[in-house]
Chain A
Amino acid sequence: MKPPLLRKIGGYVFAVVFIFAGWWITAVLVNSPALPTPADAVEVLVANADQLVPYFFTSAYRVIVSLVIGTVLAVPIAHVCARSRTLDTLFAPVLYLLYPIPKVVLLPILLVLFGLADAPKIVLISLTVFFQVLVAVRDAVRAIPESAVVAIRSLGGSRFDEYRHVAVPATMPAVFTSLRIGVGTAIAVLFIAEAMAGSTGLGYYIMQSWSMVNYPRMFAGIIAMALLGVVLYALFDIVERRLTRWR
């Protein structure tokens, strides 16, 4: 059941009011220049918008490219692994050991190998996304009942039809769920990578402002980074709904 549109909008209005009220109260109570009130924050954001935009797009570019690379590599490998017993026996333990390692610890190595610009960040975030999508999609393929595959075979369907009409629709939700979760992780990793190395992106902007004790500027950066997360999350949500309308 879909809630009526009005109720949905009402829900979002309430959420925004709730978050801003909480923020306002906290800011007043903490009373530190590092945490402005929402009114001050909006002012700061507008004042810094010009400067911020290029940093924002640099960061957005890195996350989006990484999400795409990670997903494009993970999905086919997940399908193959889930279907081939040999490959699965071979790689399941590898995956089991690698998956829980926080990929961000590889950052120093990647910085040495790839320099300070886009490449190490994109490699790092792609890796993070890759493993998340891989595991989610592989498990989704495994959860497809044998009977679904048999049914399409009995209709004369080919191997390709099995993928196109059974495996792909069955795993689409897993791809998007892992991407939506992945956005949070990806931006966290991006922040760390940008903060640690290079002189571009929102992570750098935020930490640079911090070291300059320019708290309003720092806060503008934080809001921009949060915005990046919300926008990407909402984007995946919308695309998922478009592609999986049957659910």
Chain B
Amino acid sequence: MGESDIMVSIQHLSKSFGETEVLRDVNIDVKRGEVVVVLGPSGSGKSTMLRCINLLEKPTGGHIYIEGEEITGPNTDVDKLREHVGMVFQQFNLFPHLSAKKNVMLAQRKVLKRSNEEAERIALEQLARVGLADRADFLPDALSGGQQQRVAIARALAMDPHVMLFDEATSALDPELVRGVLDVMRSLAEAGMTMVVVTHEMGFAREVADRVIFMEEGVIVEEGSPSEVFDNPKNDRTKDFLGHIK
């Protein structure tokens, strides 16, 4: 396999907040088009790991490469990097004063300097992709949580990311709204998007993941295909965790 097939390469990543070590020697390679689901108990460092990938957190050790380029070096253009790495959070954080369409347009206009017409065309495309073509002119307050999260996904997709990071994108949603968001994520995966997904949705992980990683206390304790990890977990911690979740 050539170098260019590795989309994200995390090597010996460590991160501490003051005295507390949150990540220790984390190594992950994500191939182009691959969907990696990260599982683990609360506080195990999943969010921190994701946030290191777009430098929302600065790693204290190790190296991260995106499409072969090191982002942990001293001269990284953070803005350029973030253009290629889309992220969706647990809280949707749409701009409350802008319609769904304007929410999707704003960063395209300001960061990518797209023309108004182009940004609008792409916004409508992406909103259609997440099933919200008919909600383009609604303000966030007039949308359900699930719809807001789908707008947030469209907003990230409009920036043409090469990889998408999802940090518990459905955890803040009422159970009946989770489905719609997962469907959007599934269709993204089917369309070949490279994705790193932190979630507690085991059904999604089993169906959509190419690879499942289980983290605990800042280290990867188990890694494999969904069937390996879910059906034959080798590590006692993983067994425990999956037992609790089910």
Contacts and interface: CB of A to CB of B under 8 A. Distances in A.
A213 B97 CA distance: 54
Interface in A96-153: 145, 147-148, 150-153
A156 B89 contact: no
Interface centre among B54, B107, B141, B155 (most CB of A within 10 A): B107
A155 B93 CA distance: 12
B139 interface: yes
B159 A156 contact: yes
A148 B110 contact: no
A165 interface: yes
A158 B83 CA distance: 12
Interface in B73-126: 79, 82-83, 85-87, 89-91, 93, 95-98, 106-107, 110-112
A229 to B, nearest CB: 29
B95 A169 contact: yes
B179 to A, nearest CB: 23
B89 A147 contact: yes
Contact of A151 (B85, B93, B111): B93
A157 interface: yes
A157 B93 contact: no
Nearest to B81: A156
B98 A246 contact: yes
A154 B54 contact: yes
A132 B95 CA distance: 27
B215 interface: no
Band of interface residues on A? 20 to 34
Contact of A156 (B83, B98, B139, B152): B83
A147 B95 CA distance: 12
A137 to B, nearest CB: 17
A154 B87 contact: yes
Nearest to A148: B93
B243 to A, nearest CB: 31
B110 A157 contact: yes
B83 to A, nearest CB: 5
A148 B95 CA distance: 9
B139 A155 contact: no
Contacts of A150: 56, 89, 93
Contacts of B159: 155-156
B8 interface: no
Contacts of B86: 154
Contact of B97 (A151, A154, A156, A244): A244
B156 interface: yes
Contacts of A156: 79, 82-83, 107, 111-112, 159
B141 A151 contact: no
A153 B90 CA distance: 15
A154 B82 contact: yes
A43 interface: no
A245 B141 CA distance: 12
Nearest to B90: A147
Nearest to B91: A147
Nearest to A154: B87
A247 to B, nearest CB: 8
A153 B56 contact: yes
A96 B115 CA distance: 47
A165 B95 CA distance: 7
Given A152-B93, A154-B87, A158-B79, 7 more contacts: A147-B89, A147-B90, A151-B91, A156-B82, A165-B95, A245-B97, A246-B96
Q: What 8 A-B pairs come out closest when comparing CB atoms?
A: A151-B93, A156-B111, A246-B97, A155-B107, A154-B87, A147-B91, A156-B82, A148-B93
19 contacts: A147-B90, A148-B91, A151-B93, A151-B152, A152-B93, A153-B56, A153-B82, A154-B156, A155-B107, A155-B156, A155-B159, A156-B83, A156-B112, A157-B107, A161-B110, A169-B95, A246-B97, A246-B98, A247-B141
Interface of B: 54, 56, 79, 82-83, 85-87, 89-91, 93, 95-98, 106-107, 110-112, 139, 141, 152, 155-156, 159
